[in-house]
Amino acid sequence: MEISKENHRHFIIYKPYGYLSQFYTNAKKEQKKKFLGDLYKFPQNAMAIGRLDEKSEGLLLITTDGKTSDFINSQKVDKEYHVQVNGDITNTAIETLKAGVEIGFKGKKYSTQPCEAFKLQIHPEFPTRSRKIRDDRHGPTSWVSVILNEGKYRQVRKMTAAVGFPTLRLVRVRVGNIQLNEMEIGDVIEVANLNF
């Protein structure tokens, strides 16, 4: 699906680690946080589509069009994450992820929908993160691809923890047909429309 509206603006960004997926806040406790507005002069009515938490990185879409945002968040668009986990993830854990796991959400138990997941045999080469990730001296790590079309708060992190392999690094690499590709951390690209 192609969404293109006159007078609306759309952006593809590589959200860095340590940034909140919002533009400003009035909360005193968050005044020292980093926001998307620190990366680029976005329009006043811009909104992030499908937020990434502060510790997560990668592809984030920004738009001034509420209909575009609603469509992407309507569970019709796949999101793919490459996730570095603590330990050498097992086939059993992968199959459990695919079938759905029970996580906590808003103080209640929630069963995730079935999704696609597989171990990445070749570790992805992302730009170096601002905060160092522990190295293999502290035990092995592995990478897994998780593809889902729902997005509860910190869902992927909760899912990998539920199967015994806590997340060390999480990078969203795709939303629908839009991919992170060779973007660098902090890059902002304005596009005429968003294609799904």
Catalytic residue positions?
A: 53
| Distance (Å) of CA 120 to CA 7, 8, 88, 144 | 41, 37, 11, 5
Question: Can you list the alpha helix ranges (DSSP code H) found in the chain?
Answer: 66-72, 91-99, 155-162
For the chain, the 3-state helix, strand and coil shares in percent, each to the nearest 5, are 15, 35, 50
Nearest CA among 105, 3, 15, 100 for reference residue 51: 15
Contacts of 190 (CB under 8 A, 6+ apart): 9, 10, 11
